[in-house]
Amino acid sequence: MQSLFISPLNIQSPRWLQAFPLAKTLNAAHELPADLRGFLIWVMLNDEFNFNQISQWVGAGARVVVLTSVEDPLQAKQVLEVGAHGYLHYLAAVPVLLQVEQVVEVGGLWLGVDLMRQLVFATTHILNPAPLNSTHKKNHLDLLSAREQDVAKAVAAGKSNKEVARELAITERTVKAHLSAVFEKLAVRDRLHLVLVLSGKQ
C-alpha cells in the first residue's frame, strides 16, 4: 500500500518518513487522486480534515488512519464510525507505525493500548460473553496450544503485549509469535475481533 500523510505543515513528525521512506506528505486534500484504492492515508484530524472527509476517502477505496495530538475515546468512536481503520497519536514511534500498517493492510483496526483496553472492556460488558467453559468458546480454544490459549485469554482481557509477557514470564517477542499463531488459527484480524470470537459472537 502507498502511504500518504496529510497534515498541516506545523503538525508533522519526522518518524513518518523514517517508517515509510517512500511516503508522500501533503498539506492539502485536493492533491489526492480520485481513485484511492491501494492507498493508506494517515491524516491529522483538524478543521480541514474532518469526519466527512474521512468518509469520502474510505468511499473512494482508501484505508484511513487518523492521527491526533490527544487520544480521546469519544473521538476514536466517531473516527471508527465513519470508516477509519486506525486511530493513534501522531508522534507514535516508528515500530508502532509499522505495526499499524500491517494490521490495517489485512483489514484489522488499530487503537492505542489504553483505548483498546477501554473498548475491550466495554465490548465484553455489552456482549455479556458466554462463560469460559461454554461449548462455543471451548471449541475455539481447542484449536490452540496451552500457551496460545493463555496468550489469547490475556489479550482478550485487554492486556498489552508487555503485560502478557510479564504475567506469563515470557518475552514480548514470544507473545507476538503466539498471538500471530492465534490470529491465524482462529482466522481473526485483530484484538477486538478476538474478543468477539472468544465471547461467542462471531
Q: Is the pLDDT of residue 14 over 90?
A: yes
Lowest mean pLDDT across 37-46, 57-66, 126-135: 126-135
pLDDT given at position 200: 61
| 85 DSSP assignment | S
Could you give the CA distance from residue 78 to residue 15 in angstroms, rounded to a whole number? 26
Model pLDDT for residues 145-155, shown as the tens digit of each residue: 999 999 988 88
What per-residue confidence (pLDDT) applies to 86? 92
Q: What was the pLDDT predicted at 124?
A: 52
In this prediction, residue 60 carries a pLDDT of 92
Do 132 and 101 share a structural domain? Answer: no
pTM for the full model? 0.65
Element (H, E) at 113: helix 113-127
181 against 139, higher pLDDT = 181
Residue span of the structural domain in which 187 resides: 118-198
3-state secondary structure of 109: coil
**Stretch 48-71: mean pLDDT, rounded?**
88
Query: H-helix or E-strand containing 6?
Result: strand 2-6
pLDDT at 135: 46
Q: Let me know whether 93 and 19 are in one domain.
A: yes
Q: What is the pLDDT of residue 117?
A: 66
Number of Cβ within a 10 Å radius of residue 70: 7
Percent of the chain with pLDDT over 70: 82
For residue 172, pLDDT over 80 is answered with yes
Residues 175 and 136 in one domain: yes
Same domain as 73, residue 45: yes
pLDDT computed for residue 121 by the predictor: 61
Residues 132 and 155 in one domain: yes
The string of pLDDT tens digits covering residues 23-34 is 998 887 667 888
Ranking 50-64, 164-178, 185-199 by mean pLDDT, the lowest is 185-199
Boundary residue ending a domain (109, 142, 172): 109
Each residue of 90-119: pLDDT tens digit?
A: 999 999 999 899 888 888 888 876 677 666
End residue of a domain, out of 87, 109, 131? 109
Q: How far apart are CA 36 and CA 192, in angstroms?
A: 26
130 pLDDT above the threshold of 50: no
Check which CATH number belongs to the domain holding 32 and give it: 3.40.50.2300
Query: For the chain, what is the domain count?
Result: 2
Q: How far is CA 46 from the centre of its chain?
A: 21
Domain match, 136 and 166 both: yes
